Amino acid sequence: MPSAAHHATRDTTADTPRIERLGHTIPNVALMLDVGVRTVQRMIASGELKTIRIASRTVRVTDESLRALFAAASSEVVR
């Protein structure tokens, strides 16, 4: 039986698969962007934000599309 010291020094992060967030709900994205839900829905419809469908009525905005949106916004100079 391994000692308590053995458990304390064992690196469990290598054994645990990393689970990435599948995406964000439309209301949460609206809060992040400080816009309305309808604006987020228009951004999705225009292709500005990408989504994944998890279930028949469950849609999530991908992390990748949010990162791209923030990267594009941060590269623009606002005067």
Residue 32, pLDDT score: 94
Determine if the pTM surpasses 0.75.
no
Provide the residue ranges of all domains of the chain, joining segments of one domain with +. 19-75
d(CA 63, CA 77): 23
d(CA 26, CA 38): 9
| Non-local CB neighbours of 40 within 8 Å, separated by 6+ positions | 26, 29, 30, 33, 49, 61
DSSP state of 14: T
Per-residue model confidence as pLDDT tens digits over 15-35: 666 556 679 999 999 999 999
Residue 49 · residue 30 · CB < 8 Å = no
